[in-house]
Amino acid sequence: MPHPLGNPPSKIIAVHLNYPGRARERGRAPAHPSYFLKPPSSLSGTGETIVRPDGCELLGFEGEIALVIGSRAQRVAPQDGWSHVRWVTAANDAGVYDLRYADRGSNLRSKGADGFTPIGPRLLDARLVDPAALRLRTWVNGELVQEDTTDTLLFPFGQLVADLSRLVTLEPGDVILTGTPAGASVVSPGDVVEVEVTGGKLSTGRLRNPVAAGPSLKPFGAMPKADPAERDAAYGTAGPLVDPGLEAGLKSVAVATLSAQLRARGLPHMSVDGVRPLRPGSANMVGVAHTLRYLPLREDLFKRYGTGMNAQKRAIEQLLPGHVLVMDARRDATAGTLGDILALRAAKRGAAGVVTDGAVRDSAAVADLDLPVYAAGSHPSVLGRRHVPWDTGVPIACGGALVQPGDLIVGDADGVVVVPPDLAAELVADCREQERQERFIAEQVAGGESIDGLYPLGPAWRDVYDNWCKGETQ
């Protein structure tokens, strides 16, 4: 069906980065929004096919919330920006990364092809929804791959309207694509992408678009090409997932110290309980959470969800260097959640580790891999005895801890802790200071001192400690 706007807009403006999770995937957090234009001829509606030209391999999907301007906006203030929005709907900012090099910065050919901006199917009245309480979800072949809300946007919708209107007059009918959450990736011919926006009880319905193969491009201009950098960008990341300095800092402190510092900040439930390293003495683990959720076995659903390229296998294939695959197995260690073949594939994908609150099969072979694995136990049974692999890239519970995609996961011989990314740098600094104090205290206790007033470090010992620190730094 055609897109719901009727007349084409004068312009479609798309925001590069606006969700914190996506910014973490990209390895950068912009201070100000940046934009690119898509031609109105790229608009389409639900049910219409997204065509990947022959020769392209990196057709990306990006579920987004689209704003439709209702009244002319020119030099408006941020607090007034939302009043110029008339409609809200779902959108898919599709594009082929194989052509990004040809129009670097403008995205004209990579994102401007006919049908590369489906929107709909229904328009929500902007007056009836809270712009800070909208939910965006994207499915590929029925699997939820993106989910986020607008309460944590880097740039709220009113600010986007105001920023653009400083220099560009927004006309009624103009469309603003407001950025995509974490989880955007690549689809292939035969796949189906669905996007839905909800606000309270209101829903746009699912914007549903199948992907099909198209004819080759005529050789009149730049032709498709893909390199490792574009593949990384298409599949959801660019550059290291964790800053190397931060990674080194997290590896330099004990998980027990991190746990204590998190508790001091009012976060006492960040440890993944019941898991232990499969290979004692293996190197410390630091990485970014990529999540996989298992549900209890239901025999009538297992054939649909548990066979073929199921969520477990897709999660493995989605791993990027620096990811830690974190599995929610409901603390049920009476069936395997990972075996030697998939563990080997995770290692080959560059994963930083695996954490499961279930069991591991082929545990001796898995332990021999150069891959830190933390599990609740070992078990010979396949996962189908207890589990259905259900979905990936969603918030999960693992060992009693809530883990979101993009959280930092740190492990050592004591176990695993979840670290919110925005706290990581200050946690490292405070952990180092705590561990330095503990080294001092241990020296005093070894020399025969009482722990009274010494542990934790009290005022009577502060000057002695400060002098000791001077000697340690010399």
Would the annotation count 361 as a binding residue? yes
CA 401/CA 359 separation, integer angstroms: 17
CA 300/CA 3 separation, integer angstroms: 38
Would the annotation count 339 as a binding residue? yes
Would the annotation count 319 as a binding residue? no
Sign of torsion over alpha carbons 302, 338, 137, 6 = negative
Would the annotation count 151 as a binding residue? no
Using left for φ > 0, alpha for ψ between -120 and 50, and beta otherwise, residue 42 falls in alpha
Q: Are 430 and 417 in contact (CB under 8 A)?
A: no
CA 127/CA 281 separation, integer angstroms: 58
Would the annotation count 342 as a binding residue? yes
**CA angle, 390 as apex, 385 and 395 as ends, to 5°?**
125
Q: What is the 3-state secondary structure (H, E, C) of the chain?
A: CCCCCCCCCCCEEEECCCCHHHHHHHCCCCCCCCEEEECHHHEECCCCCEEEEECCCCEECCEEEEEEECCCECCCCHHHHHHHEEEEEEEECCEEHHHHHHHCCCCHHHHCCCCCEEEEEEEEEHHHCCCCCCEEEEEECCEEEEEEEHHHCCCCHHHHHHHHHCCCCECCCCEEECCCCCCCCEECCCCEEEEEEEECCEECCCEEEEEEEEEECCCCCCCCCCCHHHHHHHCCCCCCCCCHHHHHHHHCCCHHHHHHHHHHCCCCCCEECCCEECCCCCCCEEEEEEEEEEEECCHHHHHHHCCCCCHHHHHHHCCCCCEEEEEECCCCCCCECCCHHHHHHHHHCCCCEEEECCEECCHHHHHCCCCCEEECEECCCCHHHCEEEEEECCCEEECCEEECCCCEEEEECCEEEEECHHHHHHHHHHHHHHHHHHHHHHHHHHCCCCCCCCCCCCHHHHHHHHHHHHHHHC
Binding site, residues?
339-342, 361-362
Binding site for substrate, residues?
339-342, 361
Binding site for Mg(2+), residues?
362
